[in-house]
Structure 1
Protein backbone atom coordinates (compact mmCIF):
# COMPACT_ATOMS: atom_id res chain seq x y z
CA UNK A 1 0.00 0.00 0.00
CA UNK A 2 1.36 3.40 -0.94
CA UNK A 3 0.30 6.61 0.76
CA UNK A 4 -0.65 9.48 -1.48
CA UNK A 5 1.56 12.46 -0.87
CA UNK A 6 1.08 15.99 -1.97
CA UNK A 7 3.56 18.59 -3.06
CA UNK A 8 3.74 19.96 0.50
CA UNK A 9 5.16 16.71 1.90
CA UNK A 10 8.42 18.32 2.92
CA UNK A 11 6.57 21.06 4.79
CA UNK A 12 4.36 18.88 6.93
CA UNK A 13 7.05 16.27 7.59
CA UNK A 14 9.48 18.97 8.72
CA UNK A 15 6.82 20.42 10.99
CA UNK A 16 6.03 16.97 12.38
CA UNK A 17 9.68 16.15 13.07
CA UNK A 18 10.30 19.51 14.76
CA UNK A 19 7.12 19.12 16.83
CA UNK A 20 8.19 15.63 17.89
CA UNK A 21 11.64 16.87 18.89
CA UNK A 22 10.05 19.68 20.89
CA UNK A 23 7.70 17.25 22.66
CA UNK A 24 10.61 14.97 23.59
CA UNK A 25 12.53 17.98 24.91
CA UNK A 26 9.56 19.31 26.89
CA UNK A 27 8.95 15.95 28.57
CA UNK A 28 12.54 15.77 29.75
CA UNK A 29 12.60 19.49 30.70
CA UNK A 30 9.59 18.87 32.95
CA UNK A 31 11.18 15.74 34.43
CA UNK A 32 14.46 17.55 35.17
CA UNK A 33 12.61 20.59 36.54
CA UNK A 34 10.67 18.50 39.03
CA UNK A 35 13.93 16.92 40.17
CA UNK A 36 15.70 20.27 40.56
CA UNK A 37 12.72 21.82 42.37
CA UNK A 38 12.84 19.12 45.06
CA UNK A 39 15.89 16.94 44.64
CA UNK A 40 15.41 15.57 48.18
CA UNK A 41 11.93 14.26 47.34
CA UNK A 42 13.29 12.68 44.17
CA UNK A 43 16.01 11.05 46.26
CA UNK A 44 13.37 9.75 48.68
CA UNK A 45 11.40 8.28 45.76
CA UNK A 46 14.55 6.58 44.46
CA UNK A 47 15.38 5.27 47.95
CA UNK A 48 11.85 3.91 48.32
CA UNK A 49 12.45 1.84 45.18
CA UNK A 50 15.48 0.32 46.91
CA UNK A 51 18.34 2.01 45.07
CA UNK A 52 21.54 3.00 46.90
CA UNK A 53 22.90 6.57 46.87
CA UNK A 54 19.50 8.05 46.06
CA UNK A 55 20.49 11.72 46.14
CA UNK A 56 23.43 11.11 43.80
CA UNK A 57 21.18 9.13 41.46
CA UNK A 58 18.62 11.96 41.52
CA UNK A 59 21.28 14.47 40.46
CA UNK A 60 22.62 12.13 37.77
CA UNK A 61 19.11 11.56 36.42
CA UNK A 62 18.45 15.30 36.26
CA UNK A 63 21.74 15.93 34.47
CA UNK A 64 21.05 13.08 32.02
CA UNK A 65 17.67 14.60 31.27
CA UNK A 66 19.22 18.01 30.62
CA UNK A 67 21.69 16.39 28.22
CA UNK A 68 18.82 14.70 26.40
CA UNK A 69 17.02 18.04 26.14
CA UNK A 70 20.10 19.61 24.54
CA UNK A 71 20.32 16.79 22.00
CA UNK A 72 16.63 16.88 21.13
CA UNK A 73 16.57 20.66 20.72
CA UNK A 74 19.76 20.93 18.68
CA UNK A 75 19.61 17.65 16.81
CA UNK A 76 23.23 16.92 17.80
CA UNK A 77 23.78 13.23 18.55
CA UNK A 78 20.04 12.90 18.14
CA UNK A 79 19.82 9.20 17.31
CA UNK A 80 22.22 8.28 20.07
CA UNK A 81 20.28 10.41 22.56
CA UNK A 82 16.99 8.87 21.48
CA UNK A 83 18.43 5.39 22.08
CA UNK A 84 19.75 6.40 25.51
CA UNK A 85 16.39 7.97 26.32
CA UNK A 86 14.55 4.81 25.22
CA UNK A 87 16.72 2.66 27.50
CA UNK A 88 16.26 5.15 30.36
CA UNK A 89 12.48 5.24 29.93
CA UNK A 90 12.29 1.42 29.89
CA UNK A 91 14.42 1.29 33.03
CA UNK A 92 12.06 3.77 34.71
CA UNK A 93 9.04 1.71 33.66
CA UNK A 94 10.30 -1.44 35.35
CA UNK A 95 12.01 0.20 38.34
CA UNK A 96 9.19 2.51 39.37
CA UNK A 97 6.00 1.19 37.73
CA UNK A 98 6.68 -2.51 37.13
CA UNK A 99 4.60 -5.53 38.06
CA UNK A 100 5.44 -5.32 41.78
CA UNK A 101 3.59 -1.97 41.90
CA UNK A 102 0.38 -3.11 40.20
CA UNK A 103 -1.27 -4.87 43.14
CA UNK A 104 -1.17 -1.79 45.34
CA UNK A 105 -2.35 0.63 42.67
CA UNK A 106 -3.88 -0.35 39.34
CA UNK A 107 -3.03 3.02 37.79
CA UNK A 108 0.63 1.96 38.00
CA UNK A 109 -0.07 -0.47 35.16
CA UNK A 110 -1.18 2.47 33.03
CA UNK A 111 2.00 4.36 33.89
CA UNK A 112 3.99 1.25 33.00
CA UNK A 113 2.33 0.93 29.58
CA UNK A 114 2.72 4.66 28.88
CA UNK A 115 6.48 4.25 29.15
CA UNK A 116 6.37 1.72 26.31
CA UNK A 117 4.48 4.04 23.98
CA UNK A 118 7.02 6.78 24.71
CA UNK A 119 9.84 4.29 24.09
CA UNK A 120 8.30 3.35 20.74
CA UNK A 121 8.36 6.99 19.68
CA UNK A 122 11.97 7.37 20.81
CA UNK A 123 13.03 4.27 18.87
CA UNK A 124 11.26 5.53 15.75
CA UNK A 125 12.99 8.89 16.16
CA UNK A 126 16.37 7.20 16.65
CA UNK A 127 15.99 5.41 13.33
CA UNK A 128 14.79 8.43 11.36
CA UNK A 129 16.98 11.10 12.95
CA UNK A 130 16.39 14.78 13.72
CA UNK A 131 15.39 15.86 10.24
CA UNK A 132 17.21 18.39 8.09
CA UNK A 133 15.96 21.60 9.67
CA UNK A 134 17.38 23.08 12.88
CA UNK A 135 19.67 20.11 13.36
CA UNK A 136 23.36 20.26 14.13
CA UNK A 137 25.25 17.67 12.11
CA UNK A 138 26.99 15.74 14.89
CA UNK A 139 28.81 13.58 12.33
CA UNK A 140 31.28 16.42 11.75
CA UNK A 141 32.25 16.29 15.44
CA UNK A 142 33.13 12.60 15.35
CA UNK A 143 36.72 11.51 14.62
CA UNK A 144 37.29 10.07 11.17
Structure 2
Protein backbone atom coordinates (compact mmCIF):
# COMPACT_ATOMS: atom_id res chain seq x y z
CA UNK A 1 0.00 0.00 0.00
CA UNK A 2 1.48 3.32 -0.97
CA UNK A 3 0.78 6.62 0.57
CA UNK A 4 0.75 9.87 -1.27
CA UNK A 5 1.30 13.28 0.08
CA UNK A 6 -0.13 16.42 -1.35
CA UNK A 7 2.49 18.58 -2.93
CA UNK A 8 2.70 22.12 -1.70
CA UNK A 9 2.80 24.93 -4.19
CA UNK A 10 4.34 28.17 -3.08
CA UNK A 11 3.52 31.16 -5.22
CA UNK A 12 6.30 33.64 -5.95
CA UNK A 13 6.45 36.53 -3.50
CA UNK A 14 5.33 39.02 -6.15
CA UNK A 15 2.38 36.91 -7.42
CA UNK A 16 -0.16 38.88 -5.39
CA UNK A 17 1.08 42.21 -6.70
CA UNK A 18 1.00 40.92 -10.27
CA UNK A 19 -2.50 39.54 -9.81
CA UNK A 20 -3.74 42.80 -8.31
CA UNK A 21 -2.12 44.81 -11.11
CA UNK A 22 -3.67 42.59 -13.77
CA UNK A 23 -7.08 42.84 -12.10
CA UNK A 24 -6.78 46.63 -12.21
CA UNK A 25 -5.66 46.56 -15.84
CA UNK A 26 -8.58 44.29 -16.75
CA UNK A 27 -11.06 46.60 -15.02
CA UNK A 28 -9.62 49.68 -16.73
CA UNK A 29 -9.68 48.10 -20.19
CA UNK A 30 -13.25 46.88 -19.78
CA UNK A 31 -14.36 50.24 -18.39
CA UNK A 32 -12.83 51.92 -21.46
CA UNK A 33 -15.44 50.12 -23.52
CA UNK A 34 -18.48 50.82 -21.36
CA UNK A 35 -18.03 54.32 -19.93
CA UNK A 36 -17.62 56.17 -23.26
CA UNK A 37 -20.45 54.10 -24.77
CA UNK A 38 -22.73 55.04 -21.86
CA UNK A 39 -21.77 58.71 -22.16
CA UNK A 40 -22.50 58.63 -25.89
CA UNK A 41 -25.91 57.11 -25.19
CA UNK A 42 -26.59 59.83 -22.62
CA UNK A 43 -25.69 62.65 -24.98
CA UNK A 44 -27.43 60.98 -27.92
CA UNK A 45 -30.43 59.68 -26.03
CA UNK A 46 -32.96 60.07 -28.85
CA UNK A 47 -30.72 58.25 -31.31
CA UNK A 48 -30.12 55.45 -28.82
CA UNK A 49 -33.84 55.05 -28.20
CA UNK A 50 -34.45 55.08 -31.95
CA UNK A 51 -31.85 52.36 -32.50
CA UNK A 52 -33.42 50.22 -29.77
CA UNK A 53 -36.85 50.73 -31.35
CA UNK A 54 -35.44 49.79 -34.77
CA UNK A 55 -34.72 46.24 -33.61
CA UNK A 56 -38.26 45.87 -32.32
CA UNK A 57 -37.63 46.04 -28.58
CA UNK A 58 -40.46 47.52 -26.48
CA UNK A 59 -40.09 50.68 -24.38
CA UNK A 60 -37.02 52.03 -26.17
CA UNK A 61 -36.64 55.06 -23.87
CA UNK A 62 -36.56 52.78 -20.84
CA UNK A 63 -34.09 50.53 -22.62
CA UNK A 64 -31.87 53.52 -23.38
CA UNK A 65 -32.01 54.63 -19.74
CA UNK A 66 -31.10 51.13 -18.58
CA UNK A 67 -28.20 51.03 -21.04
CA UNK A 68 -26.91 54.35 -19.70
CA UNK A 69 -27.13 53.22 -16.09
CA UNK A 70 -25.38 49.95 -16.85
CA UNK A 71 -22.69 51.24 -19.19
CA UNK A 72 -21.94 54.58 -17.56
CA UNK A 73 -22.96 54.00 -13.95
CA UNK A 74 -21.83 50.42 -13.45
CA UNK A 75 -18.88 51.03 -15.78
CA UNK A 76 -17.59 53.68 -13.35
CA UNK A 77 -18.14 51.30 -10.42
CA UNK A 78 -16.17 48.63 -12.28
CA UNK A 79 -13.38 51.10 -13.00
CA UNK A 80 -12.93 52.17 -9.38
CA UNK A 81 -13.59 48.70 -8.02
CA UNK A 82 -16.70 49.41 -5.94
CA UNK A 83 -19.33 46.67 -5.70
CA UNK A 84 -17.17 45.11 -8.38
CA UNK A 85 -18.51 41.56 -8.40
CA UNK A 86 -22.15 42.65 -8.63
CA UNK A 87 -21.35 45.34 -11.22
CA UNK A 88 -19.41 42.85 -13.34
CA UNK A 89 -22.26 40.30 -13.29
CA UNK A 90 -24.89 42.89 -14.24
CA UNK A 91 -22.72 44.33 -17.03
CA UNK A 92 -21.99 40.79 -18.27
CA UNK A 93 -25.69 39.90 -18.42
CA UNK A 94 -26.42 43.20 -20.17
CA UNK A 95 -23.65 42.45 -22.68
CA UNK A 96 -25.02 38.98 -23.43
CA UNK A 97 -28.50 40.46 -23.92
CA UNK A 98 -27.05 43.13 -26.24
CA UNK A 99 -25.32 40.39 -28.24
CA UNK A 100 -28.57 38.46 -28.64
CA UNK A 101 -30.78 41.43 -29.53
CA UNK A 102 -28.39 43.58 -31.57
CA UNK A 103 -26.02 41.07 -33.20
CA UNK A 104 -28.38 38.21 -34.09
CA UNK A 105 -26.25 37.11 -37.03
CA UNK A 106 -28.25 33.89 -37.40
CA UNK A 107 -31.27 35.88 -38.62
CA UNK A 108 -29.42 38.23 -40.99
CA UNK A 109 -28.62 38.02 -44.68
CA UNK A 110 -25.14 36.71 -45.51
CA UNK A 111 -23.70 40.15 -46.25
CA UNK A 112 -24.53 41.31 -42.72
CA UNK A 113 -24.07 38.03 -40.88
CA UNK A 114 -20.27 37.91 -40.78
CA UNK A 115 -19.69 41.26 -39.07
CA UNK A 116 -22.57 40.65 -36.68
CA UNK A 117 -21.20 37.21 -35.84
CA UNK A 118 -17.88 38.84 -34.94
CA UNK A 119 -19.67 41.43 -32.81
CA UNK A 120 -21.78 38.74 -31.16
CA UNK A 121 -18.77 36.70 -30.10
CA UNK A 122 -16.87 39.84 -29.08
CA UNK A 123 -19.71 40.58 -26.67
CA UNK A 124 -19.69 37.00 -25.42
CA UNK A 125 -15.92 37.20 -24.82
CA UNK A 126 -16.31 40.51 -22.96
CA UNK A 127 -18.98 38.89 -20.80
CA UNK A 128 -16.51 36.08 -20.08
CA UNK A 129 -13.96 38.59 -18.85
CA UNK A 130 -16.57 40.25 -16.68
CA UNK A 131 -17.60 36.92 -15.19
CA UNK A 132 -13.92 36.25 -14.39
CA UNK A 133 -13.76 39.58 -12.55
CA UNK A 134 -16.94 38.61 -10.71
CA UNK A 135 -15.37 35.28 -9.75
CA UNK A 136 -11.98 36.55 -8.63
CA UNK A 137 -12.79 40.06 -7.45
CA UNK A 138 -11.39 43.52 -8.05
CA UNK A 139 -7.99 42.98 -6.50
CA UNK A 140 -6.14 45.07 -3.97
CA UNK A 141 -6.24 48.27 -6.05
CA UNK A 142 -9.95 48.88 -5.58
CA UNK A 143 -12.42 50.56 -3.28
CA UNK A 144 -13.75 47.11 -2.38
CA UNK A 145 -10.41 46.33 -0.69
CA UNK A 146 -10.20 49.58 1.28
TM over 0.5: yes
| Worse-matched range after superposition: 11-20 or 98-107 | 98-107
- Find the counterpart in structure 1 of residue 6 from structure 2: none
**TM-score of the aligned structures, taking structure 1 as reference length:** 0.83
- The reply on whether 1:36 has 2:49 as its aligned counterpart is no
Deviates most, 27-36 or 98-107:
98-107
115, 133, 137: which is aligned to 1:129?
A: 137
Q: Count residues with an aligned counterpart.
A: 137
Please list every run of 5 or more consecutive structure 2 residues that lacks an aligned counterpart in the other structure: 1-8
State which structure, 1 or 2, has the greater radius of gyration over its C-alpha atoms.
2
Q: State yes or no: 1:56 paired with 2:62.
A: yes
Note closer, same or farther for the CA distance 1:97–1:4 as it changes in structure 2 (3 Å cut): farther
Aligned-pair Cα RMSD in Å: 2.3
Residue in structure 2 matched with residue 75 of structure 1 by the alignment: 81
How does the TM-score come out when normalised to structure 2? 0.82
Aligned in 2, Cα 1:120/1:5: closer, same or farther, shift over 3 Å? same
| Distance in 1 between residues matched to 2:138 and 2:11, nearest whole Å | 21
Counterpart CA distance in 2 for 1:14 and 1:109 is: 33
